[in-house]
Amino acid sequence: MPFVAVPLLNTWLWMGGRDLLAVALFTIIGASVVRVAGGVVLYRVEVTATALKARTSLLVRSLAWQDVDRVEAGEGFVVLTTGQDENEINGITKDRSPYVAGVIEAARRAAADQPVRRARPRPGLGVLLVLLYLVLSVGAFAWKWHLV
């Protein structure tokens, strides 16, 4: 909701070339929070003995192997299912997807007897872009109405 309401409010408040800044930032922020088919898209994936660490659109996540229920390979992607959530790893060469899924499955099975280490998500670049957009929005409002 704020990703729609704030830019619309800014468009109404801003008149002139500053609208381009709002549209550009909204496009960047919108692209950073896209969800594909109800799942989370993972980037820069790092497979460790205890967890899978990956950057999502807004956060850097760590997914414990004990939380992964199923690993599936597709054409150019691998899907990790945890409960009702699907975590999708994209950008894999189509013929390498089964190999990547096999490596991830082997790491998951090897970690079955290890203690669970869960980490909270930490902010990524998307959070910085959202905060930048909000600061610029408030600044533009204050500038427009001569509050600063």
In a 10 Å sphere around its CB, with 0-12 CB exposed, 13-18 middle and 19+ buried, how is residue 60 labelled?
Answer: middle
Global model pTM greater than 0.75: no
Question: How far apart, in Å, are the Cα atoms of 61 and each of 38, 69, 105?
Answer: 17, 17, 19
Average model confidence (pLDDT) across the chain: 75
| 45-77 per-position pLDDT tens digit | 888 888 888 776 666 777 888 888 999 999 888
What does each C-alpha distance from 123 to 10, 35, 41, 109 come to in angstroms? 25, 17, 15, 29
Please state the φ and ψ torsions of residue 78, each to the nearest 5 degrees: -130, 135
CA distance 47 to 131: 30
